[in-house]
Amino acid sequence: QKEVEQDPGPLSVPEGAIVSLNCTYSNSAFQYFMWYRQYSRKGPELLMYTYSSGNKEDGRFTAQVDKSSKYISLFIRDSQPSDSATYLCAMTKAGGTSYGKLTFGQGTILTVHP
């Protein structure tokens, strides 16, 4: 069983829809959680970063963390065709023990059609 599970999709939604992307994890040592966006044939880029349980909002994006359930989510409101990409969740342990090691989910392929 992988440490981080993410539904690979693909997910296809109409423009303007609310998108929900999710990851579950098994290692309770994970304390920092990230969402990366990867456009086709490009490298991943950091979209959002959270630490504590709860919600964090940035424009149309909301990241949600529930450490008790080992579950994280990314919500995209008013989705746009430009949001079409692969979304990867990533997580890491706290402090120096991580040495920067990110553990990624498999990535969810999202297509937003006009």
Which of the ranges 16-24, 55-63, 65-73, 90-98 carries the binding residues for another protein, by CB under 8 A? 90-98
Q: Which of 1, 14, 59, 99 binds another protein (CB under 8 A)?
A: 99
Task: Please count the CA atoms within 13 angstroms of the CA of 96 that sit on its side-chain side.
Answer: 0
- Residues present in the chain in total: 114
Of 97 and 114, CB closest to another protein: 97
Q: Which of 62, 74, 107, 110 binds another protein (CB under 8 A)?
A: 107
Residue 21, token pair as written in the block: 């992307």
First to last CA, the chain: 37
Q: Which of 15, 45, 57, 78 binds another protein (CB under 8 A)?
A: 45
